[in-house]
Structure 1
Amino acid sequence: MRDGSGPAAFVQQFGQGPRAALGIHCSLAHSGAWAPLMAVLDGRLTMTAFDLPGHGRSAPWEPGLWGGADYIGAARATALELLRQAGGPVDVIGHSFGALVALAAALEAPERVRTLTLIEPVLFAALKDGPHWPAYLAESAPFRAAMQAGDAPLAAEVFVGQWGNGQPWASVDARQRGNFIQRIGLLTDIAPSNEADSAGLMRPGRLEALAMPVLLIRGDRSPASIPALMEVLAGRIPGARLEVVAGAGHMLPLTHPGEVAALIGAHLSRG
């Protein structure tokens, strides 16, 4: 698949349900991360999912080659092309950074989005100018320090420890650890979108204009920045529902697919 202006993005499908869906995975993962969730939603959705630039089996990320002015612009362009190819309204589901891409696509082409599900969108810019911003900076300081020092292995270990599925770094498969280390630099390209809101998602009036049903999902064991920013988003998106999965951390589509699928299944009836 080509987005019309850049290299090929790897695309695959899950499920055999009557409703078309688009899944956008989190950073450092790949489209296969939707398999556990779709094993539960198989009869409800047919999900198209793509690997983000530089992830999985997609082409490497190089500015200017994927279309879009920056990383989130390139990812959004691919999502919009897949929405166009779908022909009709689609249930869009995004996780973490993928939820930012999903939100950006929904704001760009709302007529193509039937329902929108945002699972722990890492839009840290929502905390700026508020009481939780200093806490976020403290929370992210160890990762930031490792990146600034050029210590990719340490940065990957810190990042996975904070945002992973709870598995100790030493017990992560060596090949997977290598993939995390190899791709950790992509977070530098992603940072302008989640920390500085380079896509303008938080601009006055944008979130308030969303008219499709929106579901926000988080775990109750996720980093402290998540519940704070989710409350901001819930307060600005008209009619948004905020659900919390007990015992889950940031990787809840992988660790708690049944609970997440149940929430999404109920949400589908709204659109």
Structure 2
Amino acid sequence: MDLATRATPPPATTIHRSGRLRTGGAELSWHTAQATTPVVFVHGSFDDHTSWDGVVPLLPPGVTAVRYDRRGHSGSSAPGRTVIHEHVDDLVAVINELTGGSAHVVGHSYGALVALMAAARHPEPVRSVLVHEPPVFPLLAGDPVGEPMREAARAHVGTVAAYIEAGRAEDAVALFAEKVAFGEHWRELFAGPQRAMLAANARTFLEQFRDPDHYALDLAALAAGPVPITFTVGTDGPPAVRRITGILAERLPAATVHTIVGAGHAPHLSHPAEFAAALTRHLDRTRRA
């Protein structure tokens, strides 16, 4: 899928807004297509709000899609070192300031971690969560199948960080995309301008890598909390994150798991219609609950 080709825009009756939100010393660049049911989208590593371009136009009428660049990505600033707890606080600020204090949250990869941490720490403003393959690698520790996957991913990510420190952002993106996240066909998901965007955001990935708390997910709080959770998982993605999703589903038995056939770690890019359909079913189910 060529991300430089934008999907058909929503109907003209949708109200489009954008702006900047000051929070925690940062300025977040945000964009909304406003209707009634607010859904906040949280992108993954290296990425920005444009990764949701193929999904938002496919959502049903009545959905307010709120997208923003996480601090340190594209249009958003990042004063000093960035840690995941700041990303969580930013998400809560976006919900409070742009949706009236309550919203459904969708997250991809690292953004999925942010969404789940927000649901665990601040359940009041989070109506529900749909996340795709959160990379909670510590869950693979000691697992006879998952441990080798964890070690391989750790080695690759260490090299990615070293490339970024050496000023080799494009090499870092290529290694991360091919070996950790998207597979050998990753360039089919990202056109040239999008690859440049990924490289420009590489420094924030380095801050994530250095953050000792970036995997500090409180599963007990999620299991005991009121927030409905749906995990989406692709059949063709990295084996490590597929296994992590399975472990999360075991630890959170109330959660729903939806498999997207043929998709990998980025169904919102490769299979936007299927991802939008999964989100629509999730919203319908949580509204009925």
Contact map agreement 1:221 1:248 (CA 8 A) in 2: yes
Closer/same/farther in 2, CA of residues 77 and 172 from structure 1, 3 Å limit: closer
1: distance between equivalents of 2:137 and 2:96? 29
Residue 44 of structure 1: how far off its partner (Å): 4.0
What's 1:62 paired with? 80
Mapping 1:47-58, distance limit 5 Å: 47-58=65-76
Quote the residue 1:66 is aligned against.
none
Given candidates 66, 84, 91, the residue that maps to 1:79 is: 91
Quick one: distance in 2 between partners of 1:92 and 1:84?
A: 13
Q: Assess if the C-alpha contact under 8 Å between 1:96 and 1:119 holds in 2.
A: yes
Q: Secondary structure at the match of 1:229?
A: helix
**1:117: how far off?**
0.4
Q: Structure 1 pair 215/192, CA: closer, same or farther in 2 (3 Å)?
A: farther
Contact 2:120 2:218 in 1 (8 A): no
Contact 1:24–1:98 (CA under 8 A) maintained in structure 2: yes
Q: 2:175 aligns with which of 148, 158, 166?
A: 158
Q: Residues 199, 140 of structure 1: CA spacing in aligned structure 2 closer, same or farther, 3 A cutoff?
A: closer
Q: Which residue, out of 158, 161, 165, partners 1:144?
A: 158
Following the alignment from structure 1 to structure 2, what is the Cα–Cα distance between the partners of residues 199 and 97?
A: 9
Question: 1:104 and 2:117 equivalent?
Answer: yes
Q: 1:25 is matched with which residue: 43, 52, 68?
A: 43
Q: CA deviation at 1:171?
A: 10
Amino acid corresponding to residue 38 of structure 2 in structure 1: A
Give the structure 2 partner of residue 254 of structure 1. 269
1:67-112 superposed Cα distances (whole Å, 9 cap, x missing partner): xxx4212211111112222224311111111111111111122121
Contact 1:164 1:251 in 2 (8 A): yes
Q: 2:199 aligns with which of 172, 178, 181?
A: 181
- Name the CA shift for 1:6/1:126 in 2 (closer, same or farther; >3 Å): same
**Does the CA-based 8 Å contact 1:222-1:250 persist in structure 2?**
yes
SS in 2 for 1:74: helix
SS for the counterpart of 2:44 is coil
1:12 offset after TM fit, Å?
A: 0.5
Name the structure 2 match of 1:123: 136
- Conserved in 2, the CA contact under 8 Å of 1:222 and 1:248? yes
Aligned to 1:201: 217
Letter of the 1:26 partner, please give it. G
Q: Deviations over 1:149-183 (max 9, x none)?
A: 63433222111223247645599644443333333
1:8 aligned counterpart, secondary structure:
strand
- How far apart are residue 4 of structure 1 and its match? 3.8
Gaps of 5+ in 2: 1-19
SS of residue in 2 equivalent to 1:116: strand
Q: How many residues align?
A: 261
What letter corresponds to residue 43 of structure 1 in structure 2? P
TM-score by length of 1: 0.86
* Large movers: runs of 4+ above 6 Å: none
CA-based RMSD of the aligned residues comes to 2.5
Q: Give 1:130's aligned amino acid.
A: D
Q: 1:242 to 1:168 in 2, by over 3 A?
A: closer
**Equivalent residue of 2:45, what SS?**
coil
Q: Percent identity?
A: 26
Asked if structure 2 preserves the Cα contact closer than 8 Å seen for 1:17 and 1:42, the reply is: no
